[in-house]
Amino acid sequence: MLQLVAAAIVGLAFLTQGIRDAIAGAAGAALVALGTALLAARTFAGLGGGGMTMGRMVSGMVLKWIAIAGGLIVILGQYKLPPLAAITGLVAAYAINLLAFRFKG
């Protein structure tokens, strides 16, 4: 959820530069949130042993990177949105992810 909040904040911050920048920033951060959701859904899909859970986690990580890379290709290639805003959104969402791991007790 915090990654989606970061998407909204980045989108609002880039709104001063234009609507295309705002969409690119929000979409870049939303890609990370989508990838994290795919990873979590795949990892926690069911019960199993350690090897099965590890395999699901690795396949979930591959899904995450496919979603992020594919989304960036669409954002930057097809829609030709500003790359600085998209990458800033991506970095902001990852920063939120790292901060969440840092402050868990």
Residue 2 has pLDDT above 70, yes or no: yes
Domain extent at residue 49? 2-102
* pLDDT tens track for 8-58: 999 999 999 999 999 999 999 999 999 999 999 999 988 888 899 999 999
**Domain count within the chain:** 1
Cα 98 from Cα 93, distance rounded (Å): 9
Signed CA dihedral, 67, 72, 78, 79: sign only: positive
Predicted pLDDT at 105: 60
Q: What is the dihedral of CA 66, 67, 73, 78, to 10 degrees?
A: 140
The pTM (predicted TM-score) of the whole model is 0.90
Signed CA dihedral, 64, 83, 12, 93: sign only: positive
* pLDDT tens track for 71-104: 999 999 999 999 999 999 999 999 998 888 887 6
